[in-house]
Structures are given as C-alpha cells and as structure tokens.
Chains A and B, each alone.
Chain A
Amino acid sequence: MAYRADNYDVVVVGLGHAGVEAALASARLGCRTLAVSTNLENIAFMACNPSIGGPGKAHLVREIDALGGEMGLAIDATFLQMRLLNTGKGPAVQALRAQADKRAYQAYMRRALEGQPGLQLRQAAIEAVLMDGGRVAGVRSRTGVEYGAKAVVLATGTFLEGRVITGEYAYSSGPSGQLPAQGLSDDLRESGVRLGRFKTGTPPRVDGRTVDRSRLTEQKGDERPRRFSFLSHPVPRPQLSCWLTYTTEETHRLIRENLHRAPLYTGVIEGAGPRYCPSVEDKVVRFADKARHQVFLEPEGWNTTEMYVLGLSTSLPEEVQWQVLRSVRGLEEVELLRPGYAIEYDYLLPHQLDLSLQVRGVTGLFSAGQLNGSSGYEEAAAQGLAAGVNAARQVQGLGPWMLRRDEGYIGVLLDDLVTKGVTEPYRVLTSRAEYRLLLRQSNADLRLTQKGRELGLVSDERYRRYQERKAEIDGLRRYFAGSLAGPDTPLAERVVQAGGSPLRRAETVEALLRRPEVGVPDVAAALADVAAADRECLEEAVLEVKYEGYLQREQQQVARFRRMEERHLPQDVDYDAVMGLSTEGRLRLKAAQPASVGQAQRLEGVSPADIAVLLVYLEQRRRVRSPGQGMEAPADGQ
C-alpha cells in the first residue's frame, strides 16, 4: 500500500553532481526541498576520473560558482593537485584543472547539503513520477512511499536501467557496483517521454604501491595553485603528483588479439559512445599507426593508494585487462583493484526539453545532467543548477531563467542539448562557444555574479567580493589609460630588455601593454602602483587591454546575434497556420517550440526562407493584435 509521506515544493531525484546543485539551488531560493538518492553514501560520487575542470569544463565550474553554486568551493576544499592548463595559449582556452580527493569531495558535498536549511535528504529508490493531468504531483519510491511535489527534478545520471559490461559478462548495475534505477524508464515512457540509450566507459583502478614510479614521468601541480571559486583564498597546500607513461607494442598486440572478446566489437554494446573518450580498444583500432598512447596515473585521494588509469578505458575481459595493464611501462607488477567496464544507460532525448530544462508538455518536470545525454561532472552540475533554479521559480510562479549562448558556457550547453539534440554523450568544448573570447573562465564572476544576485543565489559576501574585484580591475584599466611611462622609466627599460623598440617619448602604459612583448610581469615589476594589485585582477585588466580589438569584434557579433535571440516567439504560435513555411521547417518548429527566432534558426531543417516567413508572420500578428501601430499609412485596409 502506498502511503503519502509528506509534501514538498521540489523533489530532486538523484544526488550526483547535477542533483546536488539542483537541491542546493532550490532550497537556497526558499523552496521546501527533498533530495533523494538510492544510496546516501554516494552523494556527489566521481564515478570516472577523479578530476574537475579543463577547457570548457573549468569555465562551467566558475560560472556555477559565480551564480552561487557549490562545485567550485567543493573542489577548492578537496583538491590534491591544481594546474592552470594552456598557459602558453590565448585567454579563451586557459583553464584550471584539479585532481580531487574523491572521498573528501563527497564528504564536503554531504556537509553542504546537510547544512542547508529547507533541504531534507532521503535514501529511496524512485520508480514513478506522479502526475495530475499535465502536471507533476510527486514521486513514488519502490517501497510504496509517495512524496508530493509541485516540481520534480530528475537527475538520475547513468543509473536508468544501467547495464555494466566487462568482457563476456553483462549485468544490471549502476556505476561502480551501485544499484541501477529500474522501473523509472518505463514510467517515463508511459508519460510520453522518449528515451535513448548511450554507452560510456571507465578504465581500471590500480594499487599505487605496485606502480614503478621511477619509470614514469612526474606531473606536478602548480607552485602557486589557483582556485576555482571566486570566494576561495589561494593558500599554499601540499599536492600530489600525477604520473605519465605509455602503452607499448605489446599492449596493442594484446588488444588486437582479444578484439573478438571486446563487447564493443562483438555487438554486445549497442548504445552510442562518446568520440572524445573512446576505449583503448577503439583507439588501437582507429589509430592503428600510432605506436603508443598516453596513460596517466591519477591519485584518487590522500587516504588511499588507489589510482585511476587515464587512457585505458576498456570493457575487455578482466583477465585481458590484467595483461594489458602489465604491458604498460612502469606497470609490469601492477595489482588491479577494480576492472574497467562499459556502462549502458537510458537517457532522455533532450530536444523534448525547453531551455529551462523542463519537459515540454509536463508542467513541473525538470531533467538535468547525464540523464539529458551529456557527460562530465561539470556539465551535470551546470544543468543541475539551472534545473534547480527553474523548478524553484516555477513553484514560486516566476518565469523561467536561462542564459544565452553569449552569456556563458551554461547557455551554450543548454542550447546545444535542447536545440541541437545529441548523437553521443555531450561534452562541452571551447570550440563549441561562438564567443569564447568573451566567455573566459577568468571573468565568469564579472559576467554572472550580478545575475546570480538577482536570482537570489549570491550571498552578501560573494557579492561584496565581486564588487571589489570589479572595482580593482576598472581602477587598473583607468590607471593604464591615464599613466605615462617615459623612456627612462623602469617599464621602458623592461620593454627594451624584452626585445621591443625603445621609447622615443612617453607613452601610456596602455599603449605599451598593446605591444606583444610586454605583459603582466613587466607592469607588476616596473610599476609600484601595480605591484600591490591582486594578481588575478591585474591579469584580467591586462588581458582586456591586450585583446581589446578581438573582444570588440566578438561584442559586435554578439550584438547581431542578440537581435534574433531577443525576438521572442510566443508559445501559442500555430505553425500550421503560418503560410509559406517549408514542410520540414514547419515540422521542426512544431516539434521544438523554440523560445526565440534565434533558437528557431539553429534548428536543423529550418531554412533562412522559413525565418523570413516567420518574421513577416510575427509582424502581421503584432499588427492584428494592436491595430494602428507601426503604420504610417492609414490602416483602412485592415
């Protein structure tokens, strides 16, 4: 017999990286929130690599942070290595990456959830979403407990009908030996939600004590590690190294000889896998001429010798995994702790969602994270935040909240998923962002803190820090523009030392900074007024000067882009009644119900002629609704 346990504003199903942010955002916005997991030991579990960040991903973490999310703070509190990547490259692709202490990260997140007023945790396996007409009414657990809810956020990750495959063995399971979520898929299908099936994989884990580090290349963290969160203070802290090694000819021979036992090639795995993280068997087959592949050994925590073997993702039989591992340089004596595996899972075809991550046609049902066909902790967390915010806003009768593609990687991520759909697990990349020079990880706070404040997610402390940083950067810009450096000043000397042409007369610091050979270290060392400035503020101010031309060009592109994004498409447009649309365009528009003309034009199959027709239609409609406007000539013909 089902019994009604309690009623909530928002119920979040799943407490991985998406669920955690969704639950926190919902509760922080004042909603009475229940967060449910099949196992409360596994909150914010990193089922794959023990790391957070990298190009695109670091950008997401910083945006989540600027909007008052938790991920940045959690990794800053628990990292065991921090590196700034792409330091030799331009500002668009520089990105932080941290190795995490997995267990510590989970403990941090659990404390954050438990410390959040208005948020209740519960261990339960949800197998049905309760409906009332076209509206969500709550959820029901496998043990017959019903929780009433005005909005539900599904964040079930790779657990939906999860199936783990290693060699010839396949069984129902969530990642890393956890329980799969069964029953919910069928329930969703009954509500008309369409699901697809994806595959992903993870490499084996090994015992670090059995790794011969003398044969490996050490990769240390940065000497002055930075932080993800704009609230954290960079304090020196001991770090752990990662270790680089390579596969050998023997590795490749072993893999080739055992391909007939690889589920990827025997047809056991049907789901589509991601191209950016292929299994090692895939790499050996597709890049047959490559003599060796990189393998990184990454520590999983301070309190364990377990190491993650990046580069050897595989679902080969366990005995073959042993041999493959031991064929890698430095791993000749290695002990396997956990075999690698492939996992198949159901995902929700994301073009069924609107940009607020609500399932179209089911008021109050939101979906976030890997369930939406994405991959990666950061992508999941970003969606979790957005879904949590939108669930709360809907309960509170507020309009949907979203970011545009020109405002953040979160906007790019949501729009890509919802508008373009997915054919493989989606990963964010800097090359996916049209305006990536504007969307730097270094200015995420400048871009988004104000928005987070207006949402109600940004604390006074965070807001004050943002204003201080903004003021410092603006002050430095003014200083650069207004201060002259003469030919005899220390800065001029540094210019010459760096190989620049000598100054003939005094120039503004700004003008000197535009020279390619002049950079942050020069102004920091040569100008007393700048030496005391916060290093990251100084970097940001210098960057704004140096790349001003490029930044302005992207801003112009954004201005054009926005004109179409800001042309709202009413949800009650009857596309069948719009004369002149192409057949394919009409079908796509009807299915997607885009929110703006801009979104409409990104739909596959919608042609420029369709957009032109739509614009004319919108104008017609506007005039019919408010006659007499927009016409100079007498409107007697109407």
Chain B
Amino acid sequence: MCKAGFGRSGKALDRRWEQLLGDTIAALATAVGEAGVSVVRLSGPEAVTCAARVFRCSRLESLAEGRPRRVYYGWLLDGPGGRRLDDGLAWFSRAPHSFTGEDVVEISCHGGVVASRLALEAVLRGGARLADPGEFTRRAFLNGRLDLAQAEATIDLVQARTGAAFDAARRRLEGELSRRVSSVADRLLGVMAEIEARGDFPDLELEELEPPQVSRELRACMEALRELLAGAEEGRLLREGLRVVLAGRPNVGKSSLLNALLGEERAIVSAVPGTTRDVIEEGLVVEGVPVVLADTAGLRESADPLELAGTGRTAAALRQADVVVFVIDAGAGWLPEDEAAAAALPKTPVIVAVNKSDLRRWAPETAMIERIAGGTDVLEVSARTGQGLGALRQAIARAAGVRRREEPMLGTVRQKHAVERAVASLETAAAAVEGGVSLDLAAVDLREAWGALGEVTGENAPEALLDEVFSRFCIGK
C-alpha cells in the first residue's frame, strides 16, 4: 500500500514530514490552464502500482505488467475500479533509471484545467500523495540524479514555493471550508477524548461507550464531510469556471461584446440605455479555461427603482468577479459616467476594452486608465467587426493564469484529498466499531482521520487530544 498513513503523533504536517522520502508522490508536470495535453507524473516505489489502479491499458491486464519506457494507450479512471474519465497514454521507468532515481510514471491526457485536475485527483485516489513544492527535484537530488551545483537551486525552490503555499494555506484557513472542517474535527476529537479517557483513566466512573452511539457519531462526521466535498467552494472556479464580468456605463456595447465573444445572440441588445437589467451569464471556454461571462446592467445612478434593483445585482456580480472587462465606447470617448462606473470596480484584475474602435480611433489617456482600479491591459476591440476579439480572449486567459497559479489549485486538491482520506478512515473505524472491534483499536483510524482533517485546518497538535481529555473529565488523585 502506498496510501498515506498517519502517525499518531504529529503537528499539522507530520504526515508530510514522515514521508519526505520514500512514499509515492504525484503532481501535474505541465502548467495548469493551457489547452492541449496535460501530464500527470508519479514518483516513488509504488508509482507503477498506484498508476495501474487508475489507468487501464487497452492491451495489458495491468500497466504493472508492461515494459519500462514503452508507451501504452488506455483509459484513465476516476478512481480505482471507477468510471472512465479520459483516454490517454502512459509510460513508466524503473529506479534508478529515471530523473528522480525512483520508479516514475507519466500519464498524458487531455489538457485544460478541469481535465488535468481530474487526472491528478484520480492518481491520488490510486494511492499517491500530492507532491510538495519542489519535491520531485529534491528527490532527484537526494537520489544522486542532480549535481551539487543544483542543490542550492533546489533549496531556493523549496523555500520560495513553500512560502507561497503557506500564504495560500493561511488564506484558506480563513475560508468557509476550513471553518466547517474544523467543526467536524472538533466533533471527532470529542469522540476520541471519550475513548482515550476511558483507556488511560480506568478509575473514572464513566458509563461504557456503546458501539452504536460511537458509530452514529462517526457516521454523522462522515456525512458532514461528504456534504462539504459535494458543495465545497473550492470546486466552484474549476467546476463553473472563471467569472468574467463585463462592466461599464450603459450603452458602451457590453451585450454586443458578450454576444461577439459567444458567437451568437443571447442578450437583448438595444440602443436604449439600461435595457439589460438582469445579469446575463453565459459559459464558454477561452484558451482551455472554462469561463462564465456575465453582462451587467449599466453602473449608472438612476431613479428608476427597477433599474436600481438591477444595479444592486450588478454590484453583487462585480464582487464575485475573478476578472472584469471594463468596456469604454471609443465613439463617445471618456464621459463622467465612465468615471463613475470605474469608481465602482472591485480590486480584481481589470481588462480595459475600448469598443467600437471600428468607428473611431481613440485611446484613453493614461490618467483615465489609472482611475480604473487594477486595469493594465488596454485593448481596442469591435464587437461589430470582431476586430481584437482574439486578443481579448488571450487577455482573459492571461488574467486567469494570474488568478490561478499552481499553488492555490494544488492547495485545493490537497484539501479535498485530505477530506477524502478522512472520510475513508472514518468509514473503516465505523465499520470496525459496528463489527465489534474494541474502541482503542478503532482509535487508530480515528487518529488518521483527525490527522487528515488537521492538514486542512492546521490544528492537530498531539497535545490537543490531551487538552480535550483534561477539560472534559475530572481526573485526579
């Protein structure tokens, strides 16, 4: 088994510490978000086994029976014994004849954010652990595959990227997911404290824990975690796509631009200001990145209550935006209304699209751009002729790349994987308790579950359990 176990001691990252060497790791070898092909790479003693669990070869019983350095066609499954996800190619090389000096597998499948993420998740379900930043390189060095001069570069890499990951982790700590995981972890800790107190302090007159009561509690924890997995906010970006909001004063041609990008008529296009009262959303794929494009009602002060309602929704849409395309009418130039609309922009990346550039050659002055929060890219486009639309698509994809660097994405996969492992450990524990196994044995799995949740919340110091025991029970001589 190369599935990650968890030692019973351990600060938040103990599991990763224990496994700095020798277990099997996986990561995307290609950059996220680009079209074409993405490659998932595994390294470690169980690399071939883990890959074989989720990659079914067309001609072999198992990838493990294949020969090194031969390429095999097959299907990637969404988990061991799961359904087909994608077709692709796989090859492996055996230690020490690989760049890390360990067994290495590479699986190529279709590119794009969603496809590559699903592929990575699949091999994690196959039993690999998500690699730490710089870990492939580090292993290569430790296994004698890199020369001495490269060692320092490795250290820089580890330091720099762990720092970034830490920032991302801290941001997530403040997030909803972490809070909800914490509440489950606390509940689980309560069960563990009840068990430990009875084992370590047999003189306490505590009523025996009834197995059905314990398993009910564990199943409730599992249920809560499964709900989290199903509805986790982290999945939104990737599942629903990057939220791109078209903003600007009324009648600058936002709806026309939306339609031009979509290639078909969807929104009501009208020359009367304020026709688009609702936020209109459309999905499309831009340069391999799934995007939700939203057109907003004009951000204009209005006495019309109906229009004000729309403006409220617009404001809400802007708050949720990952990228804003701020549209200006080249024909009209920079108006006070543009100024007001620019002032309402959130602090997200902004692309400035100068529309109707087929009618008049006009470029905003630097001073105007500076008043548009976060605006850096200025593009001339024409919704009518299609001029500049390619550049706009590329700018959106670039902005997406800014929004979605590697770490945050790995972070979310890591969290999700941790919660999945917790659910699996809880399932084992609950089944054991229901099967009559004594509670101190089931505690092995509870510790693993709790440790996995601790990777999300950052709270699993070994002392926490004792703190819980001492705060719950009156122990003493």
Residues on A facing B (Cβ under 8 Å): 48-49, 54-56, 85-86, 88-90, 92-93, 95, 203, 275-280, 282-283, 286-287, 290, 293-294, 296, 310-311, 313, 405, 429-437, 516, 547, 550, 553-554, 556-557, 560-561, 563-564, 579-580, 601-602, 604, 607-609, 611-613, 615-616, 619-620, 623-624, 630-633, 635, 637-638
The reply to whether A278 and B5 form a contact with Cβ atoms under 8 Å apart is no
In the complex, chain A residues whose CB is within 8 Å of the CB of B305:
none
CB neighbours (8 Å) of A616 from chain B are 138, 141-142, 151, 154-155, 158
17 pairs, CB–CB < 8 Å, chain A vs chain B: A55-B202, A56-B200, A89-B199, A93-B200, A287-B474, A429-B196, A429-B200, A434-B7, A556-B5, A560-B18, A560-B23, A563-B18, A602-B9, A604-B11, A616-B142, A633-B147, A637-B149
11 A-B pairs besides A95-B202, A431-B196, A602-B9 with CB distance below 8 A are A86-B202, A90-B437, A430-B200, A432-B466, A434-B9, A437-B441, A560-B22, A564-B17, A564-B21, A580-B152, A620-B148
A563 CB contacts on chain B under 8 angstroms? 18, 21-22
Bound: A348/B427 CA distance, A: 45
Q: Pick the contact of A86: B142, B155, B199 (CB < 8 A).
A: B199
A516 to chain B, nearest CB (A): 4
Q: Are A547 and B152 interface neighbours, CB within 8 A?
A: no
Q: How far is the CA of A623 from the CA of B18 in the complex (A)?
A: 24
Least Cβ distance of A275 to chain B in Å? 4
Residues in A neighbouring B436, C-beta threshold 8 A: 516
Q: Which 8 A-B residue pairs are closest in the complex by CB-CB distance?
A: A90-B438, A93-B199, A630-B144, A434-B8, A90-B440, A580-B155, A609-B162, A516-B436
Which of A313, A429, A434, A516 meets B476, CB within 8 Å?
Answer: A313
Measured CA separation A280–B141 after assembly (Å):
59
Contact between chains at B9 and A89 (CB < 8 Å): no
Contact at A49–B158, with CB atoms within 8 Å?
no
Interface residue? B477 (CB, 8 A): yes
Residues of A within 8 A of B8 (CB): 433-436, 557
Name the B residues within 8 Å of A602 (CB-CB).
9
Let me know if A632 and B199 touch, CB within 8 A.
no
B16 contacts partner chain A, Cβ-Cβ < 8 Å:
yes
Residues of A within 8 A of B378 (CB): none
Report the nearest B residue to A632, measured CB to CB: B144
Contact of A93 among B141, B145, B440, B465 (CB under 8 A): B440
- What is the count of residue pairs linking A and B with beta-carbon distances less than 8 angstroms? 183
A604 neighbours in B (Cβ, 8 Å)? 11
What A residues does B301 contact at CB under 8 A?
none
Task: Given A89-B198, A437-B444, A560-B22, decide whether A637 and B466 contact each other with a Cβ distance below 8 A.
Answer: no
Inter-chain contact B199/A430, CB cutoff 8 Å: yes
Q: Which of B145-172 contact A (CB under 8 A)?
A: 145, 147-149, 151-152, 154-156, 158-159, 162-163
Complex Cα–Cα for A615 and B19 (A): 12
Beta-carbon contact of A611 and B20 below 8 Å: yes
B238 lies within 8 A of chain A by Cβ: no
**A277-B477 contact in complex given A86-B202, A623-B148, C-beta closer than 8 Å:** yes
CA distance A434 to B9 in the complex (A): 6
Query: Bound complex: CA of A95 vs CA of B23, how far in Å?
Result: 35
Chain B residues in 8 Å Cβ range of A54: 202
Contact with A along B340-370 (1 / 0, CB 8 A): 0000000000000000000000000000000
In the complex with contacts A437-B441, A580-B155, A608-B477 CB distance below 8 A: no
Find residues 1-18 in chain B having any chain A CB closer than 8 Å to their own CB.
Answer: 1, 5-9, 11, 13-14, 16-18
Q: A55-B199, A431-B199, A437-B444 are in contact. Are A612 and B477 (CB under 8 A)?
A: no
Q: Does B435 contact A (CB under 8 A)?
A: yes
Contacting A277 at CB < 8 Å: which of B7, B204, B437, B475? B475
How many angstroms between the C-alpha atoms of A92 and B438 in the bound complex?
10
Give the contacting residue for A615; candidates B138, B152, B435; CB below 8 A. B138
Say yes or no: B18 contacts A561, CB within 8 Å: yes
Complex formed: what's the CA distance from A633 to B99 in Å?
12
Compute how far the CA of A435 lies from the CA of B9 in the bound complex, rounded to whole angstroms.
9
Contacts of A560 in B (CB 8 A): 5, 7, 18-19, 22-23
Assess A553 versus B5: contact at CB under 8 Å? Given A611-B17, A632-B145.
yes
Contact A564 B18 (CB under 8 A): yes
Distance between Cα atoms of A290 and B472 in the complex (Å): 12
Residue of A nearest to B474 (CB): A287
Residues 108-152 of B at the A interface (beta carbon under 8 Å): 132, 134-135, 138, 141-142, 144-145, 147-149, 151-152
**Which of B134, B142, B435, B444 has most A Cβ within 10 Å?**
B444
B5 contacts across to A, CB distance below 8 A: 553, 556-557, 560
A90 and B439 in contact (CB under 8 A), knowing A561-B18, A563-B21, A623-B148? yes
**Distance A553 CA – B477 CA, assembled complex (angstroms):** 36
The minimal Cβ–Cβ distance linking B221 to chain A, given in whole angstroms, is: 19
Q: Which of B21, B23, B158, B440 has the most chain A CB within a 10 Å cutoff?
A: B440
Contact present for B147 and A580 (CB under 8 Å): no
Distance (whole angstroms) from the CB of B101 to the closest CB of chain A: 9
Complex interface: chain B residues within 8 A of A286 (CB): 474
Closest to B10 in A: A434
The smallest C-beta distance from A543 to any residue of chain B, in angstroms, reads 11
